[in-house]
Amino acid sequence: MKKFIKFLLMTISVIFMFVACGGSDKEKTEVTPENKGSNELVIYSPNADDEVNKIIPAFEQATGIKVVLQSMGTGDVLARIAAEKENPQADINWGAINLGIYQNNPELWESYTSENEKNVPDAYKNTTGFFTNYKLSGSAALLLNIDVFNKLGLDPEKFTGYKDLLLPELKGKIAMGDPTASSSAMAELTNMLLVMGEKPYDEKAWEFVEKFVGQLNGTILSSSSQIYKATVDGEYAVGVSYEDPCVSLLEDGATNVKLVYPEEGSVWLPGGVAIVKNAPHMENAKKFIDFLISNEGQKLIAETTTRPVDTSVKNVSKFVKPFDEIKVAYEDIPYAAEHRKEWQERWTNILTK
């Protein structure tokens, strides 16, 4: 009888051990929101390859965090984040955020101000508490095709600014985007409105815009990349573009084009980064913003064809003209954001009348 009881107790113990081990294995393999991909950072971004390839490997090496990048246009970034707001999949919107976008979608972003904000000049500080400016993008860059200028009997060295876009020889020879569909074309329009009047954004500036639209002969290009590509290919004499791709062309060895910053004034608009509301990897997202505006991050941006927001950090490229050699204009960003739709409608009316 004692042997039977001893055997029974041993059997129960073995069964309990297997049940316990089975429960333990289940706990080990279960994936929870807290531990799923905790060493990852998911980024949605429209940024160019040179910026991406400079920043992401350095961030991964510095932090040990694995970046999952999904590249797409600005509109797609915003549409996806909005569609996923009940179950966020991304942590970071890198490059598709500015004051106007924030004001239109304030519910999509997480509040965060980095301790490295001290590196950002006052003009570009994170005043909303929801997005951080980390780079500057030149919105006024006039790309001249030297060969086409010569064929037209024009001296490219005498072309100095917006006023020269009205030369009769250039009618139908200017490449311009659509401010109602392209953020870079809209930035170019607001730059014109800022500097071409007697006062910023006045009727005198709109008079210039009307004359400029007449020079386009009704032709508007559908993408910003078409503008500089068609200009370097000789389809146009002037591409009304922005600094980053124009400098890239020069870096890549293009010798038939020249970059002109309008003597009337050139605006540099801040490029931003924001954390998605309820981001799955919140702490990693904060580290990414910290890195972007750290001294290391700003020096990496200075190695690209865009400019760091910390203006004390100088660009490496010889084709990026120093600020002290350019007439820099400063846009009233809140005012421009407030009047964006109104100005787009007025542009359309001028173009179609």
Residues 314-338: what's their mean pLDDT?
A: 94
| pLDDT-derived band at 224, boundaries 50, 70, 90 | confident
Average pLDDT score over residue span 219-234: 94
250-300: per-residue pLDDT in tens? Answer: 999 999 999 999 999 999 999 999 999 999 999 999 999 999 999 999 999
Digit-coded pLDDT (tens) for 167-179: 999 999 999 999 9
Check pLDDT > 90 for residue 322: yes
Domains of the chain and any CATH numbers: 40-137+269-319 (3.40.190.10), 141-264+334-352 (3.40.190.10)
pLDDT in tens, 137-149: 999 999 999 999 9
Share of the chain above pLDDT 90, in %: 83
- Mean pLDDT, rounded, for 227-241: 98
* Among 215, 200, 311, residue whose Cα is nearest residue 264: 200
Structure confidence at residue 31 (pLDDT): 30
Q: What is the pLDDT of residues 197-208, one digit of tens each?
A: 999 999 999 999
Neighbours of 112 (CB within 10 A): 19
Which residue is it, tokens 């890198």? 94
**71, 138, 143 from 75: Cα distances, Å:** 12, 20, 26
Q: How many CA atoms lie within 13 A of 188 on its CB side?
A: 30
What band does 8 get if pLDDT is binned at 50, 70 and 90?
very low
pLDDT higher than threshold 60 for residue 13 = no
Q: DSSP 3-state helix, strand, coil percentages of the chain (rounded to 5)?
A: 50, 15, 35
Average pLDDT, the chain: 90
What pLDDT is attached to residue 48? 86
Q: Is the pLDDT of residue 15 over 60?
A: no
Per-residue pLDDT, 37? 57
- Model-level pTM? 0.80
Reported as a pLDDT band with limits 50, 70 and 90, residue 38 is confident
* Mean of pLDDT values over 304-309: 96
Q: pLDDT exceeding 70 applies to what percent of the chain?
A: 90
pLDDT in tens, 57-105: 999 999 999 999 999 988 899 999 999 999 999 999 999 999 989 999 9
- Say how far apart CA 265 and CA 326 lie, in whole Å: 8
Question: What's the confidence (pLDDT) of residue 341?
Answer: 94
**Segment 303-323 mean pLDDT:** 95
Rounded distance, CA 174 to CA 214, Å? Answer: 11
Residue 223: pLDDT band (50, 70, 90) is confident
What is the structure's pLDDT at 167? 99
| Burial of 304: CB neighbours in 10 Å, binned 0-12, 13-18, 19+ | buried
Mean pLDDT over 36-50 rounds to 87
Q: What is the per-residue pLDDT for 4?
A: 38
